[in-house]
Structure 1
Amino acid sequence: MTSIDTELLTVPSYVQEAWWTPQNTPAGAPIVRDANTGEPLAKVSSEGLDLAAVVRYGRETGQRNLADFTFHQRALKLKELAQFLNGRREELYEISAKTGATKIDNLVDIDGGIGVLFTFGSKGRRELPNSNVIIDGPLEVLSRDGSFAGEHIYTRIPGVAVQINAFNFPVWGMLEKFAPAFLAGVPSIVKPATPTGYLAEAMVRLMIESGILPKGSIQLISGSARTLLDELDYRDLVAFTGSASTAKALKSHPQVVFGGVRFTSETDSLNAAILGPDAAAGTPEFEAFVRSVVTEMTVKAGQKCTSIRRTIVPVALKDDVVAAISARLTEKVVLGDPRAEGVTMGALASLEQLADVRAAVQTMLNAGGELAYGSLDAPMVTRRDGSVGSAEDGAFMSPVLLSWSDPAAPEVHNLEAFGPVTSVIGYDSLDQAIQLAAMGAGSLVASVCSNDPLVVQQLVTGIAAHHGRVLVLNREDARSSTGHGAPVPHLVHGGPGRAGGGEELGGIRSVHHHMQRTALQGSPNMLTAVTGVWHPGADRHFDGTHPFRKSLAELRIGDAFGSELREVSLQDVTDFANSTGDTFYAHTNEEAAAANPFFPGIVAHGYLLLSWAAGLFVEPAPGPVLANYGLENLRFITPLAAGDSFRVTLTAKQITPREDQDYGEVCWDAILHNQHDEIVATYDVLTLVAKTQEPVDGGAGTSSMLS
């Protein structure tokens, strides 16, 4: 064993609420190095770690502790964690520089990862109930009398989410998986890639230091976890990001094939950017296209699963594109140690990665690619002290632009050089451009750059099924777009075929990935009990107190109010028509209305009925109801003829306290019946209600925007 081996510390794992390293790190354990200098940083080993105990701790302690919180409470913890980490970014930047990451790279990886926490913290409170059950889709009535019904619900899976991440995004790649799992209430076991796992460890250390997360929420395995899948079963989930070959091996594991382990993957991707024939040199689209290609070549030194590998352009514009990309690379790229002033592109993650990328480029050159910009030789770089010299022991590589005379050469569409490399190929027609994009056999993302709507329509509809995401870039969004290579947490990240066939992120969709959808059948009362949402046919409670007089502390699901009948005269209808200007013939012309197959003659305006319904159910005195902020799911069922009467029944359908406010939302089921007990209209009324009877600052009475 060398002196370096004995002096180096081992990157620790975090399991069962403790930091862990092997008692004796084995000889030959991987050594991670500073990507810019080659300096040894640490050893990596999980030798002797009890993986069965790690999984058991997540399933038991993690599951139990996360069950103590609702979606909203977990969302607030994500927000709190993001705020804490925001204040500690500089520490992470310093460590990240050792991976070859520049300041811009850190915005993508570290700031982007924290941004994911913020996003899920917000969406969780806005789009999920303050409970642990999500209703999926409408109620299905399964019996004539309504006593038996069914619907779908989501509940969290009862196991752990094993998250195997790639080396290129040690922070964002971890947090984009952790955030939806945590929001769903599923504990995470994080397995980062060895070359940059020390940065993931630093982020986990801060997360634990914050004291915000319940015990068991996250565990970290630094080093090999080859037998981890042996410990999983149908209760668990594996989310993998990495090479297609590794994904194939994991997907073939007996516990995935036979044991029911849920497996999703995001793998290789030969992403394309297509320039429309209208986007000639000098147009805003041409400039935006060139900027996008250069950005994707150089951010993270091209080590992004979303980078543009195939630059597909009209044959007539190919020379212009090559010249413009080359000029921008020369102008914008300063290669060197990210800790040196002015450096815009750092090293690849490791010398091994550098060797792999150079070998891939050489194969492409041998297959007919021509070197239009760059070199495979060791480049001159800016060193940490600001001097310029040879790359020495750093994993530096010049950006490489390849030009191909044969756009269908297999190596262009099959071989991914995972570094600062892109290939320019030409097309003669939009159909050929679509075919070339599809030759990637499934990709994460493609960009279409054109200002011609017909070109965009043909290209997008032609390539969409081969991609997980398509960015349309033109002069209108060139500055506001997040860019080709930037997945956003609101939309799905993944792609078909070669890209792995999975979906990550996607807002609440990604939360659903960590949950089981179950068909629930039963009586309306039992469905209400399970979901916390009142269902038609379930019991209503008329206890003599108007429900608008009840605070959230007093209000219960099913509390209801029923009004008396109110007649709507012909004069009422006429007056409403004249005062509003809504003189549609069904409200003003008896002969025309009677000729309409939907109306018995002149009928009341639907909005007249809504206005009067508010007058029937609103409790006017000041009280816990603070405001009415909308209607949802409005349907007019049976027309109400002039001279008919109607009544309203209001039922507390769903109660959602706001965790960080002294009020919450109440959704009321409103149903209007005529004098024959036929349903006239149905809708949901949304109100803000105080948690207690004490006055709320700035509160009004039961002021309603409907009254």
Structure 2
Amino acid sequence: MKIQNYVQGSWVDGDGVEYTAVNAINGDVIGEVSSAGLDYEGILDYARKVGSPALRKMTFQERGRMLKSLALHLIGRKDKFYEISAKTGATKIDSWIDIEGGIGNLFANASLRRQFPDLPYYVDGVAAPLSKGGTFIGHHIMVPRKGVAIHINAFNFPIWGMLEKIAVNLMAGVPAVVKPSEITSFLTEAMVREIISSGILPEGALQLVSGFGRGIIDHANHNDVITFTGSAATGKKLKGLPHISERSIAFNLEADSLNACVLGEDAVPGTPEFDIFIKEALKEITIKCGQKCTAIRRIIVPEKLVDEVQNALYAKLSKTVIGDPNLEGVRMGSLVSRHQMERVKQNVELLLEEQELVFGDVNNVEITGGSKEKGAFFSPILMRNDHPFEKTRVHDIEAFGPVSTVLPYKTMEEAIELVEMGKGSLVTSIVTADDKIAREFVTEAAHINGRILVLNERCAKESTGHGSPMPLLTHGGPGRAGGGEEMGGKRGILHYLHRTAIQGHPETITRITEQFQVGADQPEANPHVFRQHFEELRVGDTVFTHKHTVTTTDIVNFANVSGDNFYAHMDETSLEGTLFERRVAHGYFLLSKAAGLFVDPKKGPVLLNYGIDECRFVKPVYPGTTIGVRFTVKEKIDQEKRSEEDVAKGIVKFLVDMYDDEGETVGMATILTMVKKLDQSQ
């Protein structure tokens, strides 16, 4: 069987055989892999010329809906991937993290469309006034790069590693070429086949290189983004290639790291936190057979609790059933290959020259099912290092398997120093019920970590755990961890966009951004904006309302209704030394009165008002002041129908500009409304 590549719109074989993929449980051959002979210049060019234009034409809303459709399609076919995943040595839980965790990234990124405009590009921040008269302003837009995302992934998460990355670049409007590890590329290939056959992505949006991929980044240019997940040594070698810096190519490196978990001094045996700590450390040793870039390699505990932690972990590890993940009761599978098994063994032997082995055997492991001779089974290894400041290999050498070391500390300062000796981590956890300890640790250790998990009884039941990067949070870390960032919710999407400053008249900037800018034209809406359907509204259209003169009676009545009897509104004798000359109208009265002025009360296309953004009261309003409102269409965001019966609608943001009889703004807010479409078939 050939494990194929999907490039330039076709499934193709590479020349010869670069690697033979085998079942990690029994050694059976799965298929031959090769990408030799592929035209990498043509592959990248295909992504730029075919995939990129199609994605860039789509709005963020359309891209988000595309990701959601893909996620729903894949989750409905998830079972077919579990059987294949078991051949990588993964248990059902391991596979769940990879398969459904990966699909979860699609759902999470699809939901981010609500934070973006209904445009193919993003309007960043707020306008900058650049002139006294207000006729010249500046702003920023962020547009999709006219390039390709080249993802070089590790062997441990064949599906999650791909989906967590492409979810972000597709949402940004950038196509991808994915190069998984050849060792587990058979599982990635199965997922890509399902994605391509679904027809949900535009052609050229996703290509797959299953083999070694030698030369895949040689033709990258300044518009492209390269991401690498794997060993720090390989990643830094690739990042250091001359053409990467010469062409100013964005390169995100996420490397394995010597992550730690710290037990707080308060979490003694008998406390819930001690049990939580042991459970978390055990999980990170055994899940995915320890083959996670986020796995706990250093178990840092108070000196007085070393024996208790060691004994508790020994008892748990002794009960862990290892073997064929298809069999009932098996809790830990195998490493992905015998080659990887030998690499782990070599690094454990180096660590054992300085440390004491307290559980496991580097040469033997008892298994249930599978093959000792042909499979890649490896015993969990727990070591102890009583002198971690002198015997420092534990801070330098990573055995990428079910391997961890218990280290003692005397003070929290020492614990933080031990964490720092790892020279940069993706994640560190601290288990403590004492929030003072948590604060000290987080603030002092944050600089050397990409993520910190604070775990205790209050959050343990719902915690996603030490080893689980989340799509809405940054994944990456400084130093040894590569210095890069992935995911991060909206931040991750912005990584694939290019920011450009734009300058001009507010009306011009309004038409470019499709967001109303103060100083732009405000043609009077006819009919009233509340009488117009979503498609009929135009950004900038404005209702100039009737006016109202504020009275003392207004202030008193609003205080009675709202219960807001703040002295500035109700007691003129208390105003000395304040900002106010006289009793002042409530800001929320002004906003309420503004609504009374701008609302057209008759039934029409406006379905509801569901929120207020950016509300500010900037000038006091005293009795006798006359106020009016300029009510302007600020931005429109399309929405999809949830079902055939659903009402076709969109979100319209209106700028509420409240001004006084001097023409000066006294308050400003943005209200969000849901507006019916004229065309109900959309």
TM-score range, shorter chain: over 0.9
Which residue in the other structure is 2:387 paired with? 406
CA offsets, 1:367-396, max 9 Å, x none? x21111111122121115xxxxx6121110
Q: How does 1:544-555 map onto structure 2 within 5 Å?
A: 544-555=526-537
| Aligned with residue 618 of structure 1, among 593, 596, 599 | 599
Distance 1:191 1:460, change over 3 A: same
Offset, 1:480: 0.8
Which residue in the other structure is 1:219 paired with? 207
Contact 1:192 1:200 in 2 (8 A): yes
Q: Does 1:46 align with 2:35?
A: yes
Which residue in the other structure is 1:357 paired with? 344
Which residue in the other structure is 2:638 paired with? 657
Which residue in the other structure is 2:460 paired with? 478
Unaligned runs of 5+ in 1: 1-8, 385-389, 697-707
Offset, 1:573: 1.4
CA offsets, 1:382-441, max 9 Å, x none? 115xxxxx6121110010000112112221100000000000000011100000000000
Give the 3-state SS of the residue equivalent to 2:561 in structure 1.
helix
Q: Does 1:60 align with 2:49?
A: yes
Give the 3-state SS of the residue equivalent to 1:67 in structure 2.
helix
Of stretches 617-626 and 519-528 in structure 1, the one that deviates more from structure 2 is 519-528
Offset, 1:105: 0.2
| Aligned with residue 90 of structure 2, among 84, 101, 106 | 101
Distance (Å, rounded) in 1 between the aligned partners of 2:396 and 2:357: 18
Q: How does 1:422-571 map onto structure 2 within 5 Å?
A: 422-571=404-553
CA offsets, 1:270-325, max 9 Å, x none? 00000001100111000000000000000000000000000000010000000001
Q: Does 1:632 align with 2:618?
A: no
Moved over 3 A (4+): 693-696
Contact 1:657 1:691 in 2 (8 A): no
Distance (Å, rounded) in 2 between the aligned partners of 1:210 and 1:693: 28
Amino acid at match of 1:25: G
Which residue in the other structure is 1:392 paired with? 373
Contact 1:654 1:668 in 2 (8 A): yes
Distance (Å, rounded) in 2 between the aligned partners of 1:254 and 1:301: 37
Which residue in the other structure is 1:146 paired with? 134
Amino acid at match of 1:198: F
Which residue in the other structure is 1:347 paired with? 334
Offset, 1:33: 1.0
What's the TM-score, normalizing by structure 2?
A: 0.97
Which residue in the other structure is 1:185 paired with? 173
Which residue in the other structure is 1:16 paired with? 8
Offset, 1:695: 13
| Aligned with residue 199 of structure 1, among 187, 190, 194 | 187
| Aligned with residue 228 of structure 1, among 196, 201, 216 | 216
Of stretches 687-696 and 79-88 in structure 1, the one that deviates more from structure 2 is 687-696
Offset, 1:590: 2.2
Distance (Å, rounded) in 1 between the aligned partners of 2:412 and 2:280: 21
Q: Does 1:79 align with 2:61?
A: no
Amino acid at match of 2:580: F
Give the 3-state SS of the residue equivalent to 1:344 in structure 2.
coil
Of stretches 454-463 and 443-452 in structure 1, the one that deviates more from structure 2 is 454-463
Distance (Å, rounded) in 2 between the aligned partners of 1:383 and 1:694: 59
Q: Does 1:576 align with 2:558?
A: yes
Number of residue-to-residue matches in the alignment: 676
Identity of aligned residues (%): 45
Contact 1:61 1:216 in 2 (8 A): yes
Of stretches 157-166 and 537-546 in structure 1, the one that deviates more from structure 2 is 537-546
Distance (Å, rounded) in 1 between the aligned partners of 2:681 and 2:54: 35
Distance (Å, rounded) in 1 between the aligned partners of 2:508 and 2:533: 25
Q: Does 1:287 align with 2:278?
A: no
Give the 3-state SS of the residue equivalent to 1:454 in structure 2.
helix
Distance (Å, rounded) in 2 between the aligned partners of 1:430 and 1:675: 62
Which residue in the other structure is 1:25 paired with? 16
Offset, 1:596: 4.2
Offset, 1:543: 4.2
Distance (Å, rounded) in 2 between the aligned partners of 1:100 and 1:36: 6
Give the 3-state SS of the residue equivalent to 1:92 in structure 2.
helix
Distance (Å, rounded) in 2 between the aligned partners of 1:58 and 1:215: 9
Contact 1:229 1:255 in 2 (8 A): no
Distance 1:694 1:339, change over 3 A: closer
Distance (Å, rounded) in 1 between the aligned partners of 2:126 and 2:336: 49
Distance (Å, rounded) in 2 between the aligned partners of 1:319 and 1:354: 29
Amino acid at match of 2:489: G
Contact 1:229 1:253 in 2 (8 A): no
Distance (Å, rounded) in 2 between the aligned partners of 1:230 and 1:143: 47
Distance (Å, rounded) in 2 between the aligned partners of 1:312 and 1:611: 57
Distance (Å, rounded) in 2 between the aligned partners of 1:54 and 1:580: 65
Distance (Å, rounded) in 1 between the aligned partners of 2:625 and 2:365: 86
Which residue in the other structure is 1:703 paired with? none
Unaligned runs of 5+ in 2: 643-647
CA offsets, 1:179-236, max 9 Å, x none? 0100001000000011101111111001011111111110001112221222111010
Distance 1:404 1:693, change over 3 A: closer
Contact 2:256 2:294 in 1 (8 A): no
Distance 1:303 1:398, change over 3 A: same
Offset, 1:694: 7.2
Root-mean-square deviation (CA, aligned residues, Å) is 1.4
Offset, 1:159: 0.2
Of stretches 643-652 and 252-261 in structure 1, the one that deviates more from structure 2 is 252-261
Contact 1:591 1:601 in 2 (8 A): no
